Structure 1
Amino acid sequence: MRGGHPYLVVIATVLTLVFPLCCQNVNSDETRKKLNGSAVDFDSFREQFHPMYEVNSEEFNRRHLYFQNATERYAYLNSFSTAPQSAKYGINRFSDLSQKEFRDLYLRAHADRAPLFSGLKTGGLPAKFDWRDKAVVAPVQNQEACGSCWAFSVVGATQSVHAIGGSQLEQLSVQQVLDCSFQNKGCNGGSQVQALNWLKQTRVKLVPQSEYPYKAKTGICHFFSQSHDGVAVKNFTAHDFSGQEEAMMGQLVERGPLAAIVDAVSWQDYLGGIIQHHCSSQRSNHAVLVVGYNTIGNVPYWIVQNSWGTTWGNEGYVYIKIGGNVCGKYDLCLLSFSVYISFLFDVCVLLCPLSL
């Protein structure tokens, strides 16, 4: 994966004070069997996902047309996926959305550029690595019908590296970032780097999700006092990792999960397997969290946590091929930008918190 779009990597330090991913939840394996067999029809889809529109209404007819388009589209996508590990595409909970609706609802992240990474590669990397094995990756969340992927990505990386530093893993508030990151547009989209800039400049401390729960809509910012427990970003730097996936692996292993921005247009129909083709929009549009990689086997791949719930993809995860010039001159559009967040903890504040 060389040229094209760069990898953007952000390295941050944080000040830690005392710290006290719209549809029915359908079993993904059962759904795949029922909806992606030889007799796929709109009635089966409606039975599984219970969409809220009346039969034979104008919306019903429109959704039926989108569903028919989806069945034709995933058949085309599957024609490229002939190897055993290749990605598979089919009917899922997004199948009654037009491609424009899907983009407008779910693909609302904006990319930022940064200087080329100039560090050294890390030697002796393991053939496979997964931060989930260290119990520092929170469960898959569901952003629902809100373009908040950028906030989920930043918060996911923050809470993981907070746990890597020795604290208990706890889901931090995505809604807080959604409501309060004034440089971004809430459910209408945002930038990971702008969110980090906001955290750095304001010293806002992210509170647990239990104190500021997710609502899947932009709300009024809820302010907390400076003495409130939480995690604050102290500083960060950004780097471009274009064509340096091995170096990116090293940063992942040494410092923690990567908050990445990808071209996810073809993910509307994704069911599982390793994505090796289909960079179709030629731009980055969706924020995710890279938690590991696996280079064992014929197709090396990144392990990426999404924010569309556990019924999507590989129980909420997507696998993306490492290297191989996957998408021609847009070879990095599947994994074009990565925001790397590394947190260094000030132990003193754990023992003697600020009394503000």
Structure 2
Amino acid sequence: MRVDHSYVVVIATLSTLVSPRCCLNVRRDDTQTKLNGSAVDFDSFREQFLRISEVGREEFRLRQLHFQSATKRHAYLNSFSTAPQSAKYGINQFSDLSQKEFRDLYLRASADRAPLFPGLKTQGLPAKFDWRDKAVVAPVQNQEACGSCWAFSVVGAMQSVHAIGGSQLVQLSVQQVLDCSFQNEGCNGGSPVRALNWLKQTRVKLVPQSEYPYKAETGICHFFSQSHGGVSVKNFTAHDFSGQEEAMMGQLVKHGPLVAIVDAVSWQDYLGGIIQHHCSSQWSNHAVLVVGYNTTGTCCHCTGTRDIPYWIVQNSWGSTWGNEGYVYIKIGGNVCGIADSVAAVFL
């Protein structure tokens, strides 16, 4: 089943390159307070998320039913998250979608089996590390109603590694990968590893996003001459770091932001905080960019609680989702399959 794209309006705003990150408290702006307070109603949701287009009576009733189901689901999910740093779940831009619609629209990445990481963990790693602090991570983007997370994750890694090498941080074209990576299926989904294989084998140069803008739909591949400027992939690695997340930290510090495939079924309802539970589908379905970690588990207002170490993960659902477009995932235990298939890019 495909949801009517004219009804699903996902707000896309760019976050700042480096945003305040002291606390892990769930954002409590006017939107969050209004929609996740005691008086949650469908009309407020429709107004806040611009669901103001006229829809048929049956469609309206269906969306309202999905919304009501979501509020019940949130109560269940939050019953397991009692610690101050724990993830919180509630009303967001996906709350009028059924769980199947959400999966069909947004969780379209596939994972190729990766070999276990053969190396050793890196000694002397910093307690916390965030590539955003180096100004080499581009702003959060929004894939919209297109299953292009696999392309966003790969391009995100490439543009960061390019900037780490001394070049200016430039957003590269996700649409170019979406249209031209023939081993994948555009908005219908794909594999980051297959995309990286295509980039490595063809030495295709990704051009800036300004030259090949994102359209949230699969189009005809636009070819550029070999003399045209751009960024190409020389090589990449893909490994399974389950049980070796400390070694994964070393790879992130050494090589730059990492592409990861995760189980993001519960992320439909995520508002903020550190995810420690609820990744229950047991299959990888979404691609993201791991940009940092924090083993000190900084919590500004926590007393008498044990700090939770976490990964800092950039998503591609816009900056209004989660922690200004980011999600925090507990380090240890391979939560959400964060360590199952992790790729590092070399330019």
Indicate the percent of aligned positions where both proteins have the same amino acid. 83
Indicate the SS of the match to 2:242: coil
Normalised TM-score (structure 1): 0.86
Q: Pick the aligned partner of 1:316 from 322, 325, 337.
A: 325
Question: What is aligned with 1:60?
Answer: 60
CA apart distance, 1:232: 1.2
1:302 aligns with 2:311: yes
Question: What is aligned with 1:340?
Answer: 343
CA distance in 2, matches of 1:24, 1:228: 34
1:23 aligns with 2:10: yes
CA distance in 2, matches of 1:24, 1:116: 39
Structure 1 unaligned spans of 5+? 1-21, 326-330, 345-356
Report 1:93-108 matches (<5 A).
93-108=93-108
Contact preservation (8 Å) 1:148, 1:187: yes
**Per-residue CA shift, 1:92-136, capped at 9, x if unaligned?**
010000000000000000001122211121111111000000000
CA distance in 2, matches of 1:237, 1:322: 21
CA distance in 2, matches of 1:171, 1:62: 38
Contact preservation (8 Å) 1:181, 1:198: yes
CA distance in 1, matches of 2:269, 2:84: 18
- Between 1:55-64 and 1:77-86, the stretch displaced more is 55-64
- Between 1:43-52 and 1:280-289, the stretch displaced more is 43-52
- C-alpha change, 1:74 and 1:99, in structure 2 (3 Å) is same
1:191 aligns with 2:194: no
Indicate the SS of the match to 2:312: strand
Question: What is aligned with 2:74?
Answer: 74
Structure 2 unaligned spans of 5+? 1-8, 16-26, 298-306
CA distance in 2, matches of 1:133, 1:232: 25
Question: What is aligned with 1:18?
Answer: none
Contact preservation (8 Å) 2:87, 2:274: yes
Question: What is aligned with 1:212?
Answer: 212
- C-alpha change, 1:280 and 1:335, in structure 2 (3 Å) is same
CA apart distance, 1:56: 6.3
CA apart distance, 1:241: 1.5
Aligned length: 317
Higher relative contact order, chain-length normalized (CA < 8 Å, sep 6+)? 1
Indicate the SS of the match to 2:313: strand
AA of the residue aligned to 2:291: V
CA distance in 2, matches of 1:56, 1:293: 46
More strand by share: 1
Report 1:3-18 matches (<5 A).
none
CA apart distance, 1:279: 1.4
Indicate the SS of the match to 2:198: helix
**Per-residue CA shift, 1:304-345, capped at 9, x if unaligned?**
00000000000000000011x3xxxxx55341434322325x
Contact preservation (8 Å) 1:283, 1:333: no
Indicate the SS of the match to 2:82: coil
- C-alpha change, 1:336 and 1:59, in structure 2 (3 Å) is farther
Question: What is aligned with 2:22?
Answer: none
Contact preservation (8 Å) 1:108, 1:286: yes
RMSD of aligned Cα (Å): 1.5
Question: What is aligned with 2:37?
Answer: 37
Question: What is aligned with 1:150?
Answer: 150
CA apart distance, 1:189: 0.2
1:116 aligns with 2:116: yes
CA distance in 1, matches of 2:179, 2:69: 36
CA distance in 2, matches of 1:226, 1:285: 34
Contact preservation (8 Å) 1:193, 1:339: no
CA apart distance, 1:23: 2.1
CA apart distance, 1:25: 5.0
Indicate the SS of the match to 2:238: strand
CA apart distance, 1:202: 1.1
**Per-residue CA shift, 1:122-163, capped at 9, x if unaligned?**
111111000000000000000000000000000000000010
AA of the residue aligned to 1:45: F
Contact preservation (8 Å) 2:178, 2:187: yes
CA distance in 1, matches of 2:254, 2:162: 14
AA of the residue aligned to 1:343: F
CA distance in 1, matches of 2:320, 2:41: 20
1:228 aligns with 2:228: yes
